[in-house]
Structure 1
């Protein structure tokens, strides 16, 4: 069970890191490109959510395929674990977006 929780926590922080890192570095790029960096950071944090999920899960096709195989094979416990991994990555990406909004004092 230790591997399950470590993977869950890892997915959470990978997704959050993709959103935070991409938004902050995108804001730096917007600054050098003479665009408003805070607007770019807010926009990027929303756009990077789906890519954060993909990065954290290692590719959505593998996760969906695994989900299908476990449900059709009657291994509901494994399917439940995959759902927890997906939710963990989603919450990590969402928390990253909320942190960016908080950082730039946007609406939460």
Structure 2
């Protein structure tokens, strides 16, 4: 159980870090190229979300193949674990995007 939770946390923070770090660097790039950083950061945060998830879960099709193999063999638990890793990566990427949007809007709720 500790290994499972550790991997979930790792996937969450890797996905969060990819979105947050990539978007912040895009904002720096926008400033250097005299473009509006808010627009660039909002755009990049949405575009990089899926790649953050891919990076967090391993960057290959293997996790999806593992779900298929385990489910096909009747082993539900490993398939559910793989799905939970993907969900944790999605939550991390989504929270990173939400934080960037919140920062770009100045903390306002609208």
1:15 aligns with 2:40: no
C-alpha separation in 2, matches of 1:63 and 1:34? 41
C-alpha separation in 2, matches of 1:62 and 1:18? 20
Q: Secondary structure at the match of 1:59?
A: coil
What is the root-mean-square deviation of aligned Cα atoms in Å?
1.3
How many residue pairs were aligned?
Answer: 108
Any residues of structure 2 matched to 1:22-61 within 5 Å, and which?
22-61=22-61
Question: TM-score scaled by structure 2?
Answer: 0.94
Q: List per-residue Cα deviations over 1:30-75 (Å, max 9, x = no partner).
A: 1111111111000000000000000000124011111111111111
**Structure 2 runs not aligned, ≥5 long:** none
Q: List per-residue Cα deviations over 1:8-37 (Å, max 9, x = no partner).
A: 011001000000000000010011111111
C-alpha separation in 1, matches of 2:83 and 2:92? 14
C-alpha separation in 1, matches of 2:59 and 2:34? 34
C-alpha separation in 2, matches of 1:102 and 1:87? 22
